[in-house]
Amino acid sequence: MDLYAVFGHPVGHSLSPRIHRLFAEETAQQIEYERREPPLEGFADAIQAFREEGGHGANVTVPFKEQAWSLAEQRSERAERAGAVNTLVCGDILYGDNTDGEGLINDLRNNLGVGLAGKRLLVIGAGGAARGVLGPLLVEQPASLIIANRTADKARVLAKAFDDIGSVDGCGLDALEGERFEVVINATSSGLDGDVPTLPASIVAEGATAYDMFYSAEPTPFLRWAEANGAFRTRDGLGMLVEQAAASFELWRRIRPSTEPVIEALRHDTR
């Protein structure tokens, strides 16, 4: 059995082992998939030990994605840009990729029927979660992409780092007054603690999709806000989680699992 694992801190609630076991069953792959929770200062040692045990590949989650980026001896272009690695392939060299953006785009396009080309796109938040998906979002050629953040300067700096790929600008949340967007993505960590950033109601255009990169059994505060302010469609990040996992699985096993039954199974679990 080939060994894989997800590294995070905390990692106890990670759905990755369940997702990858379902993928393995569906594609008849013999894999073992574990959770690993190294101490905050012990990520590099834990990866080294994992490789010595014969580990084939790893998913990396908060707070280790940036450390995984540094540790990788070779990186995909999208990981390079993201400044973060969520997938490691352990070969003769340690290869790092970032499948988060692909996961988000595939969930929007394939599962929700929302293409991004020509759309007005808003990303709220300018931390690691936003940075991880900006490159792939811009490659889809939206009409425009605005990054809005509580700390406006962080959004401006982030936009600058990606403005050679497409039309992207950064601003503060208050500068959104009167603006309208067809796709609004929450990439702030506020979804986790139940706080919603203060957003003008105007940002939700008619027919708009609101997407929260975080997921929970209950609608997140951001999605409740979006629904109350006229969003046509709201969706949490469970589909993104499964889609980014499918992209990792394909990197490791050279076979693409179907995601729909897995998303359904997880929704059923959390119901």
Q: Which is nearer to ligand ATR, 61 or 76 (CB)?
A: 61
Q: Strands 144-149, 120-124: parallel, antiparallel or unpaired by DSSP?
A: parallel
Question: Does residue 170 contact residue 156 with C-beta atoms inside 8 Å?
Answer: yes
Residue from 250, 247, 239 nearest 110 by CA: 239
Does residue 160 carry a catalytic annotation?
no
Given 65, 119, 154, 160, which residue is catalytic?
Answer: 65
Place of tokens 């699985």: 249
Helix (H) or strand (E) holding 52: helix 43-52
Q: Given the rule CB under 6 A, which residues bind ligand ATR?
A: 125-130, 149-151, 154, 188-190, 195, 197
- State the minimum distance, in angstroms, from the CB of residue 130 to ligand ATR: 6
- State the minimum distance, in angstroms, from the CB of residue 151 to ligand ATR: 3
Q: Supply angle C-alpha 56, 269, 248, rounded to 5.
A: 25
- Which residue in the shown chain puts its C-beta closest to ligand ATR? 127
Q: Which is nearer to ligand ATR, 166 or 221 (CB)?
A: 221
Q: Which is nearer to ligand ATR, 126 or 242 (CB)?
A: 126
- State the minimum distance, in angstroms, from the CB of residue 92 to ligand ATR: 31
Residue-wise over 72-103: b if at least 16 C-beta within 10 A, else e? beebbebbbbbbbbbbbbbeeebbbbbbbbbb
- State the minimum distance, in angstroms, from the CB of residue 8 to ligand ATR: 12
Q: Which is nearer to ligand ATR, 164 or 193 (CB)?
A: 193
Give catalytic residues, as residue numbers: 65
